[in-house]
Amino acid sequence: MQSLFDWLSSVLALLLCASVVDMLLSESPMKKYVRLAAGLVIMAALVKPLFSADWSFSFSDKQGVSSFEQETKKQVEELSGVSELASDTYVNQTFQQEAEQIVSSFTSCELVAVEAEVKEEQVQKVDIQLHGQCPEQEIREHLAEKWNIGAHQLNMVMEKEETGGG
């Protein structure tokens, strides 16, 4: 039903655009060519469903699930995978920004990377990589409080600054 609505709305949008263009080209010598092109585009939009339709009405398994339903399930699974990936990226970016705010208050400390592991919309663990002389316990407490997670879920790796010897 949605595909029918989409098809009808696209045809109506083309008709509306063609009529606006037709009104704008009042008695121009190009008017008949524009009308011809618009008519061809509208006709192509009208017959598009005939060429893109799946004309197979067979059932693929014993329970009577059609190939259309299987294809729809496959696409939903693909989209859910994409949304989980986008969600992980968003969470990592958000955690990165929030960690930078807290770490920036310590002048001798620099945030290198933040990576969060999220399962079923729950933060499992967060890996934080820092460089410099950082007050690890203080940063751990601030971040655990901000992200509402246990301090044991924060894995902090400290890279100390090397001092040159003589």
**What DSSP letter does each residue of 70-91 carry, written as one string?**
HHHHHHHHHHHHHHHHHHHHHH
pLDDT for residue 114: 86
For the chain, list residues with pLDDT below 70: 53-66, 78-88, 161-166
pTM score over 0.75: no
Q: What is the pLDDT of residue 126?
A: 86
H or E stretch at 115 = strand 109-119
Which residue is associated with the tokens 């121009």? 28
User: Residue 88 CB: number of other CB atoms within 10 A?
Assistant: 14
How high is the pLDDT of residue 69? 76
**Structure confidence at residue 59 (pLDDT):** 47
Classify the C-alpha dihedral 148-153-157-158 as positive or negative. Answer: positive
The per-residue pLDDT for 62 is 46
